[in-house]
Structure 1
Amino acid sequence: MEIIYEGKTKDVYKLENGNYLLKFKDDLTGEDGVFDPGANSVALSIDGAGQAGLGLTKFFFEKLAEKGIPTHYIDADIEKATMTVKAAEVFGEGLEVICRYRAVGSFLRRYGKYVEDGEQLDAYVEVTLKDDERGDPLINKDALAMLDILSKAEYKKLKELTKKTAAVVKEELAKKDIELFDIKFEFGRVGEDKEIALIDEISGSNMRAYKDGEYIEPLALSKIMLEEE
């Protein structure tokens, strides 16, 4: 295997058959030792976080496959904390797409003059550039097209997929009486036809979820969601 990228929470390897292998780490993003899915640096490391994140990712990717939502997922090995995926081409140098159901985190920090903490939002979608140096700046549809990162038609598709994917996650969490506040996705162009598809992961480390008014840590979320009824 050839290592392609060493990330904050996972490493990426290229396989001989053209697919890729993602190796999940036990590191979580945040600030001052506190987990934050939108942060640009690693704040803490928890034993088993990589396997827990992969387990939940496998669960959600398989749910998406059942509903015909395109992803790069092929299979996963929980024991080794690895996931095999199709090759994907990212938009520009990478985009993060957030779907928000509650006004929390950076949304509240930006727009707190106009919104109450925890106020309900109507599956609001926003896009940021993956750029640690500039604090992952927000970018809109017109700028994305103007900078040739993705077309307006692709943006429309991206937004539709984001809402559909978030709705599946929200629905599955609700079965365990858990409320999804917000979730961060990554998308790319997958396959010869460059189909826009979900890439990366869907785990507790890229969402905020609450039960009975209490925030659920990533490892606890995986345990709740994957436990047998």
Structure 2
Amino acid sequence: MEIGELIYQGKAKSIYKSDNDDELIALFRDDMTAFNGEKHDQFSGKGVYNATVSAFFFDYLEKHGIKTHFIRMIDEKTMLVSKLEMIPLEVIARNRAAGSITKKLPLKEGQVLNPPVIVTDYKDDAKGDPAVNDDLILALGLLTRDELNEARRTTLEINKLLYDFFDELGLVLVDFKIEFGRRGNEIILGDEISMDSMRLWDKETGESFDKDVYRFNKGDVMTAYARVVEKIINWKKEQIK
């Protein structure tokens, strides 16, 4: 399959046209950014790690009834996906308090949030991705009330599936962000699910296995990402025994 015209370039992925008007090609690059792009580096193999993990979780969620834009991998860092009309919202599920929420609210780092907290940010780098509530989402016309309820229900379902999966791997899913898009009248999970878009802590030591390793210079971020991929590969091997 030939890669067509570049139609969007994000911080770490490039989206291209394909030879099918209903499909797009997502290339996971080796770029890594933090603090709204103020910190920017490249790490060889990073794109492969994120593409591998995203493909695994899209497939995993599909098998558990969650509709995603994933079709198949073209190569180790290039993904064929359904074309969606992306909704400019980041939907964030928090199981423990970490990061920005502890700076803005009287919550301690690592504090368990039960039930999980769902928050939403409007995607606009120039405005710093401001937080928006349900009323603002409706006022902006981003989602209808029914779509908003569906997105929340789906996010909580995804959270339960991912939390239980990582728990089995000895990791705590602290939080993660996802994005949705429209395909006809359906709200579909898009974007990616990778170490770039979640916080993962070791259950015993609290060690980070996510982009915080890069953000806060906690060690070798590629070693952290590789450990997550290794855990997933080992889990898959156990399933076929």
Q: Same fold (TM over 0.5)?
A: yes
Match for residue 9 of structure 1? 12
Match for residue 161 of structure 2? 168
1:77 match: secondary structure: strand
Greater mean alpha carbon deviation, residues 61-70 or residues 219-228 = 219-228
TM-score by length of 2: 0.85
Output one character per residue of 1:39-79: Cα deviation in whole Å (capped at 9) or x when no partner. Answer: 45553321101111111111111111111111111001343
CA contact (8 A) 1:173 1:225 kept: no
Whether 1:132 aligns to 2:135 is: no
Is the alpha carbon distance of 1:60 and 1:87 closer, same or farther for their aligned partners in structure 2, counting shifts above 3 Å? Answer: same
* 2:195 partner letter: G
TM-score by length of 1: 0.89
Match for residue 35 of structure 1? none
Match for residue 46 of structure 1? 43
2:25 match: secondary structure: strand
Match for residue 142 of structure 1? 135
2:141 match: secondary structure: coil
Output one character per residue of 1:77-96: Cα deviation in whole Å (capped at 9) or x when no partner. Answer: 343x10101110012xx111
* 1:120 partner letter: V
Deviation at 1:159, TM superposition (A): 0.6
In the TM superposition, 1:99-110 aligns within 5 A as 99-110=93-104
Q: 2:53 aligns with which of 31, 51, 56?
A: 56
Match for residue 220 of structure 2? none
Whether 1:116 aligns to 2:123 is: no
Output one character per residue of 1:107-149: Cα deviation in whole Å (capped at 9) or x when no partner. Answer: 11111xx222210012210110111111100001111111111
* 1:208 partner letter: R
Instruction: Tell me, in whole angstroms, the C-alpha distance in 1 between the residues paired with 2:39 and 2:13.
Output: 11
Q: 2:195 aligns with which of 173, 186, 204?
A: 204
- Where in structure 1 are there 5+ consecutive unaligned residues? 32-38
* 2:186 partner letter: E
Greater mean alpha carbon deviation, residues 39-48 or residues 64-73 = 39-48
Structure with the bigger RCO (C-alpha within 8 Å, sep 6+) is 1
Instruction: Tell me, in whole angstroms, the C-alpha distance in 2 between the residues paired with 1:222 and 1:89.
Output: 30
- Give the share of equivalent positions with the same residue, in percent: 33
* 1:220 partner letter: R
Instruction: Tell me, in whole angstroms, the C-alpha distance in 2 between the residues paired with 1:66 and 1:164.
Output: 13
Output one character per residue of 1:151-197: Cα deviation in whole Å (capped at 9) or x when no partner. Answer: 1211111111111112211111111111100001011112xx33101
CA contact (8 A) 1:104 1:118 kept: yes
Match for residue 70 of structure 1? 67
The number of equivalent residue pairs is 215
CA contact (8 A) 1:8 1:41 kept: no
1:215 match: secondary structure: coil
2:178 match: secondary structure: strand
- Where in structure 2 are there 5+ consecutive unaligned residues? 210-223
CA contact (8 A) 2:99 2:109 kept: no
Instruction: Tell me, in whole angstroms, the C-alpha distance in 2 between the residues paired with 1:51 and 1:201.
Output: 13
Instruction: Tell me, in whole angstroms, the C-alpha distance in 1 between the residues paired with 2:6 and 2:93.
Output: 31
